[in-house]
Structure 1
Amino acid sequence: MTGLSFDRHCAEIVAQSDLLRAHLDRADLTVAVPSCPGWNLGQLVRHLGGGQRWAAEVVRTRATVPPTDTHFRDLSAYAREEPAVVGPWLVESAAELAGALNAAGPEVMTWTPLPVPAATVFWARRFAHETLMHRADAALALGEDLAVDPAVAVDALDEWMELGSLPMMFDFYPERRTLLGPGRTLHLHATDLPAEAGAEWLVDLTGDTLAWRRAHEKAAVAVRGPVTELLLLVYRRRPVGEAAVEVLGDAALLDLWLDRVQFG
């Protein structure tokens, strides 16, 4: 299973926003979002849509420094939102970002928080999965089922691995160095996908960096389960004890790794 294309990432920003909007119909948007402490459902949507519009500005203006992001960080003004207002607004936000990305194409450079070969490729992928995970937040808050296209879930896990193992992460999060040590390896295996999908990840903490690869290898701890459950687990949307996964081996290493490398 290969990674998603730039065009697919742009399309997913819109598709995942549409799916999130569907969760909002007839929902009480004051419901708390447990996976985003301090936010209710309306505030979650305002954060996501505000972030999409912010990224659209970055791409559209070819920004060399980040625009202000206060409008989607401070959500105190959005405590009592209505589905009929924020639903369409979110869809418009997604369309604005996808439109800016498609107009720019996949090779345009702008400011990004991380060094990447092409900024628009980064923004398309990042917001495809940012939108997916906030849709998951909404679904979990409302007690609804979450269905994710396996190709999208695999790509989201790949991106999580790639960004989380960048060497500069040690500068941002020095405590991650404590993960490194002899024999420290983790294996994630998506049991609901065929072998040819290659939906297995080996996290190698035995060297000087946080390394990973797609591989079927023995490890100190193995986690087996559906790909969506693995995604919710590594993003800390579902605790290990509540996820539909099987943990074999050093469970304490798994807990330590999840605690140290979380983001998003």
Structure 2
Amino acid sequence: MTPEQASARATIILMRRLITNHGLTVEEAVTAVAQRRLREDGPHTHLVVAEAHAVMAEALAPIRKMIEAFQPITQAAAAAMAELGRALRQAAPAVTAARSAAKAAAHVACLYLIEANGGRGGIHETWRGEGPDSWCKMAAPGIEAHILTESFGDRARVVFRCLDEAAYERIRAGAEDRDACHHDENCECDGAPWPALGELAVPGTSEVGFRNGEVRGLVTRGAPSSTLDLTLDDEPVSEVAALMRLARTDR
């Protein structure tokens, strides 16, 4: 089935469900689906989103319990996502089945990140050669997260663009707290793996690290600019969601 055929089939399914489940006329259903594809708001576009989620849940019946765990958007959802990734690594009977399941999990991960970003953003297909190899990406103003193909839908490369200094400080403090050192006083962990604002006062790029000394990503200040761009190369989706919440000012 070509992408065009798949898109047409999905449109027909959504319109049928809108008519059957919500009593929309054919014209209202066609308009609602078209508005959603154009990312426009309409009186029935929320129903399109609801039905699309319902179709996905039904299509992924073998892992429905895992997907349902994502809906509350809590720490339980993050744990379920990690369990899903581990289960797929251990239980996939064939490469084709594993790829299909991982791609489905990646789409669910994007939905999870959209919720963490206050419902803002969309899921986009990705193409080889355009950025990191990924199943798909979640994109919103100032944020882009690629769900990495080397994972089973549970790890991402995330870019925060044009962060103000307060948002960067919230992200830095939260990330360092979760990467806290639990060793004794003689350990060699890095006490400040993220650059402080004072180190970022002039234009340039600095490394962001883990406490064990490994490089985690980069933070850049342009010239001249009062904002920062932050890239983290390979993070659990649950960590990306936590950082997105910290970056928001409407929490």
Same fold (TM over 0.5): no
TM-score by length of 1: 0.28
* Higher strand proportion (structure 1 or 2): 2
Larger RCO: 1 or 2 (CA < 8 Å, sep 6+): 1
The structure number with the bigger radius of gyration is: 2
Instruction: Give the alignment's TM-score, normalised by structure 2.
Output: 0.29
